[in-house]
Amino acid sequence: MVQTPNVAAPTAEKIGRVDAEASAMQTLRNLWPYIWPSDRVDLKRRVALAITALLIGKVINVLTPYFFKWATDELADPSAPDGVGVAAWLAVPILLVVAYGAGRIVNVAFDQTRDALFARVGQHAVRNLSYETFQHMHRLSLRFHLQRRTGALSRIIERGTRAIEGVVRHTILHAIPTLMQFVLMAAVIAYEFDFVYVIIVVVMISLYVGFTIKVTAWRIDIRRKMNESDNEATSKAVDSLLNFETVKYFGNEKLEAARFDKSMAGYQVAAIKTWVSLAWLNFGQAAIFSACMALCMGLSAWGVMKGENTVGDFVLINALLMQLAPPLNFFGSMHREIKQGLVDLEAMFELMRQPEEVQDKPDAQRLAVDGGSIRFDNVHFHYDADRPILKGISFEVPAGKTVAIVGPSGAGKSTISRLLFRFYDVIDGSIAIDGQDLRAVQQDSLRAQIGMVPQDTVLFNETLLYNIGYGRPDADRSEIEDAARMAQVSDFIASLPKGFETEVGERGLKLSGGEKQRVAIARTILKAPPILVLDEATSALDSHTEQEIQSALDEVSNNRTTLVIAHRLSTVINADEIIVLEAGRIRERGRHGELLEKKGLYASMWDRQREASEAEEKLRKVEDLERQGYGSFPEKETELAE
């Protein structure tokens, strides 16, 4: 029998540490192109000059204590040499002290020059990486954004952006030069003192660095948990505030506050652990450094007593160790900041690694629209493989015509509009505009040719001028005003104190449903697309407002290829064709009158909606009569009948 070697399996902790180190190195590699951009020679030059200034500063920093030593030795001798006047003798230590001060000033000057030179490099990295992340977020699929919390995404981007410059600055300007300063300092100590001093300093640095890395690794785990709690709390806060009215409708302010407080409780626990661990880190670092300094100065004092060292040497070892203190302290904070920054950047790069579900082909062409006919050919689609949505849908919207899609909830109506905009690609079959498969054209050119008036219009927290102008950002004010007039919203805007400069509030909450729909229509008019999609554009409005909006929609859709996705059948009776969907399949198709004659699903839906409309109209009449003082409904059946 062959015996297998007795090799201990790697522990989960070790595997996790290796994975974390690999992840950190990968994050630094991802960051490098932003620090050393291939297309920016000027920024590369700045990096080189900054590093040069830093190296010169480090050399001056190591040599400056010599002036302190020489001045001390001069002052330690109470008598002037023969033939030297007292004034001249005193001038030497004074000049040495001046030189010591000048050396420190020059060192600071080189450090600040380094920071000034590197500022543009750091900010370039912050701007470019933030810009690319923001662009990538908009390239990701609708599926991704429906599954993620907006608040958590914003926090990841915010923390990642803050971490960029810190990681860049610490890695390039501090980590390697600090190591170089340790080497220079060890060389000076070995030259001026016994090698035992170097051993003490090396042991101290090893203990200091090892302790710092170990405690920082512990603190990083705490930081991750704190970030998770922070993300959760922010997501719940944003979600709750976006649904402010819903919270008020159900009187659930206390429930929302309790949910938020529960997340903040987790953050509180992690934050307390962060501060406690920081206290232990600072204490351990101070204890290690102070023990080393006491030991080295004790050896030096013993050397002075034996006549092997001068008082200047005693001062020198103290000055050298004090020179070593800032980089050591800085190493602790540098390592901590780099590790924490890498955690934040890791989350940001993880977002950047999210694949784009819908991508343009390398040879994709611009969509060329000539009329704008739309064709769905045996289209199959599902969001989840076990739940098909569209099952072989085929229809055509001829150029300049209007086709309506109706059917029960869940039939797949809104999915059709999402596929037309190519928020998703079809699973099977094809969608074409003027014979061009949507998968073969560039997405931006496709969406530039389609206008959308959705059921739930969400506006930016900006002015009416901005929201209408969003349809075509390069439009001038007169064109925006013309679009508002065609959408029948200009009178409303004129009645506002600030007119077009009126802020509409978060998601347009300062406007009514009808006002928001008119704004949506206005910006679609301004876009002037050859193809129009009306996705249940009036289903959330009352009957009176619906009639007003419908007239504006009829004007917008005139001479345009129009796809109407409707809930209220009264809005599609004039469509050139009505397609009735049920369970992802076309159940019926034809014009309004033809479908009523079939007495099928469409006719059944029409009858139910007509009964509901009649009941709504009867209720409205009752309310009108009661407002006029006619009493309650049972007492006025005659008036209602009339």
| CATH value at residue 461 | 3.40.50.300
Are residues 265 and 158 both part of a single domain? yes
Q: Are 348 and 134 in contact (CB under 8 A)?
A: no
Q: Is the pLDDT of residue 437 over 90?
A: yes
In single-letter form, the type of residue at position 623 comes to: E
Are residues 506 and 380 both part of a single domain? no
Q: Is the pLDDT of residue 445 over 50?
A: yes
Q: Are 291 and 44 in contact (CB under 8 A)?
A: no
Are residues 376 and 258 both part of a single domain? no
Q: Where are the beta strands (DSSP E) in 539-605?
A: 561-565, 577-582, 585-590
Are residues 340 and 291 both part of a single domain? yes
Give tens-digit pLDDT for 116-175.
887 787 778 777 887 887 777 777 766 776 666 666 677 777 777 777 777 777 776 677
The pLDDT assigned to 3 comes to 41
Q: Is the pLDDT of residue 7 over 50?
A: no
Average pLDDT in the 71-80 region?
67
Going by the DSSP 8-state scheme, the letter that residue 501 receives in this structure is G
Are residues 612 and 588 both part of a single domain? no
The answer to whether position 575 is within a domain reads: yes
Q: Are 610 and 593 in contact (CB under 8 A)?
A: no
The answer to whether position 479 is within a domain reads: yes
Give tens-digit pLDDT for 293-323.
888 888 888 878 887 777 877 887 887 788 7
The CATH number given to whatever domain includes residue 346 is 1.20.1560.10
Domain that holds residue 373: 369-449+529-598
In single-letter form, the type of residue at position 34 comes to: Y
Angle at CA of residue 620, ends 617 and 622, nearest 5°: 115
CA separation for the pair 232, 269 (Å, rounded)? 14
Are residues 517 and 540 both part of a single domain? no
CA separation for the pair 279, 121 (Å, rounded)? 34
Going by the DSSP 8-state scheme, the letter that residue 457 receives in this structure is -
The answer to whether position 362 is within a domain reads: no
Are residues 374 and 249 both part of a single domain? no
The pLDDT assigned to 617 comes to 65
Are residues 78 and 183 both part of a single domain? yes
Q: Give the best-scoring range by mean pLDDT among 153-157, 511-515, 571-575.
A: 571-575
CA separation for the pair 279, 282 (Å, rounded)? 5
Are residues 189 and 227 both part of a single domain? yes
The answer to whether position 69 is within a domain reads: yes
Residue with tokens 């005003």: 481
In degrees rounded to 5, what are phi and psi of residue 578? -120, 125
The answer to whether position 341 is within a domain reads: yes
Beta bridge partners of 78: none
- Here the tokens at position 414 are 């809104």
CA separation for the pair 543, 156 (Å, rounded)? 44
Give tens-digit pLDDT for 405-431.
998 877 888 889 889 988 888 999 999
Q: Give the best-scoring range by mean pLDDT among 36-40, 128-132, 373-377, 473-477.
A: 373-377
Of 598, 617, 632, which one is at a domain's C-terminal end? 598
The answer to whether position 20 is within a domain reads: no
Q: Are 379 and 417 in contact (CB under 8 A)?
A: no
The answer to whether position 8 is within a domain reads: no
Q: Is the pLDDT of residue 77 over 70?
A: no
Of 498, 528, 558, which one is at a domain's C-terminal end? 528
CA separation for the pair 551, 6 (Å, rounded)? 83
Q: Is the pLDDT of residue 484 over 80?
A: yes
Strand, coil or helix: 380: strand
Are residues 299 and 207 both part of a single domain? yes
Strand, coil or helix: 507: strand
The pLDDT assigned to 13 comes to 38
Of 299, 318, 352, which one is at a domain's C-terminal end? 352
Phi-psi region of 6 (alpha: psi -120 to 50; beta: other; left: phi over 0): beta
CB neighbour list of residue 635: distance below 8 Å, 6 or more residues apart: none
Are residues 193 and 258 both part of a single domain? yes
Tell me the pLDDT band of 571, cut-offs 50, 70 and 90. confident
More confident residue, 380 or 216: 380
265-269, 336-340, 556-560: range with lowest mean pLDDT: 336-340
- Number of domains comprising the chain: 4
Are residues 412 and 495 both part of a single domain? no
Tell me the pLDDT band of 221, cut-offs 50, 70 and 90. confident
Strand, coil or helix: 585: strand
The pLDDT assigned to 2 comes to 38
Dmax (CA) of the chain? 134
Q: Is the pLDDT of residue 550 over 90?
A: no
The answer to whether position 19 is within a domain reads: no
